[in-house]
Amino acid sequence: MIFMFLGFCSMAQNKDQQQPSVIPDKFIQISGVVVENDSLKPVPFVSIMVKGTKHGTVSDYYGFFTIVASPGDELQFFSVTHKNATYQLPDTLTGKHYSIIRVLTRDTVELAQVSVFPWPSKEDFKRAILNLDLTDTDLDRAAKNMDNEDLRASMNGLSMDAASNYRMKMQQQYTKLYQAGQYPSISLLNPIAWAQFIDAWRKGKFKQQTPKK
């Protein structure tokens, strides 16, 4: 019985010696920023992937990112506006955190030339040119553009521009300084005051408002 027990222990020891020891993978928190090569401005929304895996992340608006990887892994950088790039992590990393700065080069995409025509074919273009109505002269078109009724309609409700507002404000300031220390002048013959009075009267600002119950 003792010999059987010793034999079993010897077999178990040999089996343990034959199996290799399994070393768990070491993970490191990788933090970094993606910038441009010429201006060093941050590149936002860059996709960062660990090569050979489905693990990845995306840089934020300021180009910062963080990802978990192992020493010796290769990081891949994909951007729509910049050329793709990689970064090889050293396999001798011993800490738990590692910071990197990846510089990307802007990628210029040249599109093929596209010609846009207003007509499907040259025959349609020729037909449209021949059918043009050129009876109106430049003087006729100018008269239509300067029609009094059209100009009057476009001016209704048009507010004063910056120059007019400035002149009106300066005129009020000059009048205030001129009348300083004396009674103000009567605006009976002031055309601007009459225009403001008529405009307010048309808008019904002088109507007596009934009190709310």
pLDDT score at 3: 45
Q: What is the pLDDT along the chain (213 residues), one digit of tens a residue?
A: 544 544 545 555 554 444 444 334 688 999 999 999 888 899 999 999 999 998 899 999 999 999 999 999 999 999 988 999 999 999 888 889 999 999 999 888 778 888 887 888 888 888 888 888 777 778 877 777 777 777 777 767 677 778 888 888 888 887 777 777 776 666 666 777 788 888 888 877 777 666 555
Q: Where are the domain boundaries for CATH 2.60.40.1120 in the chain? A: 28-104
pLDDT score at 212: 56
Tokens of 77: 């950088």
List all residues 6 or more positions away from 51 whose beta carbon is below 8 Å from its beta carbon. 73, 74, 75, 76, 86
Architecture per CATH, 28-104: Sandwich (2.60)
The predicted-structure confidence for 7-21, as pLDDT tens digits, reads as follows 545 555 554 444 444
Strand partners, 48: 57, 77
CA 175 to chain centre: 49
The predicted-structure confidence for 129-171, as pLDDT tens digits, reads as follows 888 877 777 887 777 777 777 777 776 767 777 888 888 888 8
